[in-house]
Amino acid sequence: MAGRRHHRRVLIYSHDSFGLGHLRRCRAIAHSLVDADPALSILILSGSPIIGSFDFRARVDFVRVPGVIKLRNGEYVSLNLHIDIEETLAMRSSIIRHTADIFDPYMLIVDKEPLGLRGEVRDTLQLMQRRRATVILGLRDVMDDPEALESEWERKNVVPALSDYYDEIWVYGLPQICDPLAGLQVPASVRRRMVYTGYLRRNAVDPVLTPELQEIVAKPFMLVTTGGGGDGDALVDMVLAAYEHDPAIPLPALIVFGPFMPPEQRIGFAARAAELPNVHAITFNARLEALIARASAVVAMGGYNTFCEILSFDKPALIIPRTVPRLEQYIRAQRAEELGLSAMLPEERGRDPRIMAVALRRLVSQPPPSSVVIPGLLDGMPNVNRLAKKWLDRGRGARFPVRARVGA
């Protein structure tokens, strides 16, 4: 192995049990890191069933582990395999551990879940610890309501893992907007390892568009995005109802249902959209950021990636956050509205087509996020590049001794 050490390696773990958020964030980080370091190769471990729909830069590749999905009752089931969830998790854990063993990274970045889905990364964390590889936990700006997160992490026994395994915790946001670990009793040593990077700026690459879609995006339009779409039915229904109530809303709408919206819902919404001259709908585009860059305004649920894109492309936005199963989107949207970065409409109010139509009309005159000056707001990518370089340049012996971490 010593002969290949000139080419540095980073492994990124993304559990991806639902939606696109984790995968899109990890992919954006991987692309930024390889752009900054020509001697770096990155492998992404993901459970996303549509990871192959995305393009990846040179020196970035992925390994897909068997997918799982979280039901509304909180239980996990295998996504495609008709086998027991425990067998699926055992396979995932084995693939993750053996991939890390052979790939032998200098650095492991774990996205959001400190121990992985149902603890599936623990063996890999211990392997990385023995090899003295740097281990990073990446957290989005908002995790959940503090009480809910405390209960969840206590049940999963997560807090000790922050001390036992992680060299640094990168928070992809700013403390003046949110502290993702607010309310949690974490050791001071863990707090000292937290670094706020700022939000992750996104770049746009022109997507492949049908002639019809090219005609739509050539003129001013409002982009309506549900992210993955698995829980986006309420947002789409509200937008359609608003245009049905008020067909003269100034900006026409382009609705992106998302790849995980159930087919029966998508078909019903598409039929309603076809009846509205000012509304167009598509299922999915892997380069959604390019559509956001072209839009005059954005209507969204306010997931982390979409929020980053709203900021990056400086778009007036209306956020209608979900509140189940997490308050993450609501907390982010509420704070963004307080700061003047975007507008928010609670779902219960948006269900009134008159109120929704008025909110959509206001987007035409709403100031963009850049009207508010927040230092470091979009410095996330260069800061992540800088932090990664710091650890990679130090080599394997750089991490703090295991004895200093366990029980810290």
Report pLDDT for 72.
60
Query: What structural domains and CATH numbers belong to the chain?
Result: 2-201+378-405 (3.40.50.2000), 211-371 (3.40.50.2000)
End-to-end CA distance of the chain: 32
Check whether 270 has a pLDDT greater than 90. Answer: yes
Could you tell me the pTM of the whole model? Answer: 0.93
pLDDT of residue 400: 53
pLDDT reading at 201 higher than 50: yes
Mean pLDDT across 179-190: 94
What is the band of 6 on the pLDDT scale with cuts at 50, 70, 90? low
Lowest-confidence segment of 187-191, 196-200, 391-395 by average pLDDT: 391-395
Q: How confident is the model at residue 406 (pLDDT cuts 50, 70, 90)?
A: very low
Indicate the pLDDT class of residue 404, thresholds 50, 70 and 90: very low
CB 329 within 8 A of CB 215: no
Instruction: Give the tokens for residue 372.
Output: 């508010």
Phi, psi of 330, deg, nearest 5: -65, -45
**Partners of 111 in the β-ladder:** 138
Is pLDDT at 405 greater than 90 in this prediction?
Answer: no
CA nearest neighbour of 14 among 110, 146, 120: 110
Residue with tokens 């396979």: 91
Task: Provide, rounded to the nearest whole percent, the portion of the chain with pLDDT above 90.
Answer: 80
How high is the mean pLDDT of the chain?
92
38-42, 72-76, 116-120: range with lowest mean pLDDT: 72-76
CA torsion, ordered 150, 153, 157, 161, to nearest 10 deg: -110
Assess whether pLDDT exceeds 60 at residue 3: no
CA distances from residue 285 to 188, 268, 298 in whole angstroms, order as listed: 43, 20, 16
Mean pLDDT score, 28-57: 94
The answer to whether residue 82 scores a pLDDT higher than 90 is no
Residue 344 pLDDT greater than 50, yes or no: yes
The distance of Cα 297 from the centroid of its chain, to the nearest Å, equals: 20
Are the beta carbons of 298 and 306 closer than 8 angstroms? yes
pLDDT tens sequence across 370-380: 999 999 999 99
